[in-house]
């Protein structure tokens, strides 16, 4: 087993995991309210998308009425994509990153494997000791 392992590490990881789960549960409640807003590069179109990324509102400026159809179409696509990008960014900010108590996932996996190996070794030693006691008891009879 790693010599740098301390039982407090496991307690810390469990505590951090519980905090992360509580934060995640709170964030999940907020996901249904996260919307996004965007504007076309030319500023002629603004869009809003709902929590599912569907278009909820589209506004055209007076300038949009003077645009060629292809140009207006491109402005609309830009505004909707900007709104969807904004909504995705806000979603990412809402969900907290995982926390492992300052330890990497690989380190935690290695430590748990070390604990399991050490436990197995100790159990085998104890079983061997019990078997030796049983044999002595049988030979004394």
- pLDDT, averaged per 10 consecutive residues of the chain (141 residues), comes to 61 77 72 90 97 94 95 97 95 71 73 84 90 87 68
In a domain, 48, yes or no: yes
> Given this model, what pLDDT does residue 43 score?
96
The predicted structure's pLDDT at residue 5: 58
Q: How many domains does the chain have?
A: 1
Q: How many CB atoms lie within 10 A of CB 48?
A: 18
Containing domain of residue 27, as a range?
Answer: 17-102
How confident is the model at residue 1, as a pLDDT? 44
Measured CA to CA, the distance from residue 115 to residue 122 in angstroms comes to 10
Identify the burial level of 16 via C-beta atoms within 10 angstroms of its C-beta, where 0-12 means exposed, 13-18 middle and 19 or more buried.
Answer: middle
Asked if 20 and 76 touch (Cβ cutoff 8 Å), the reply is: no
């Amino acid at each position: 087993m790693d010599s740098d392992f301390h039982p407090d590490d496991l307690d810390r990881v469990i505590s951090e995991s519980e905090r992360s789960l509580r934060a995640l549960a709170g964030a999940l409640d907020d996901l249904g309210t996260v919307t996004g807003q965007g504007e076309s590069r030319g500023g002629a179109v603004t869009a809003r998308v709902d929590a599912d990324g569907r278009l909820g509102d589209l506004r055209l400026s007076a300038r949009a009425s003077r645009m060629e159809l292809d140009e207006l179409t491109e402005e609309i696509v830009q505004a909707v994509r900007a709104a969807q990008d904004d909504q995705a960014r806000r979603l990412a900010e809402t969900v907290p990153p995982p926390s492992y108590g300052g330890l990497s996932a690989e380190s935690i996996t290695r430590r748990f494997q070390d604990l399991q190996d050490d436990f197995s070794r100790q159990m085998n030693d104890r079983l061997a000791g019990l078997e030796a006691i049983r044999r002595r008891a049988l030979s004394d009879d």
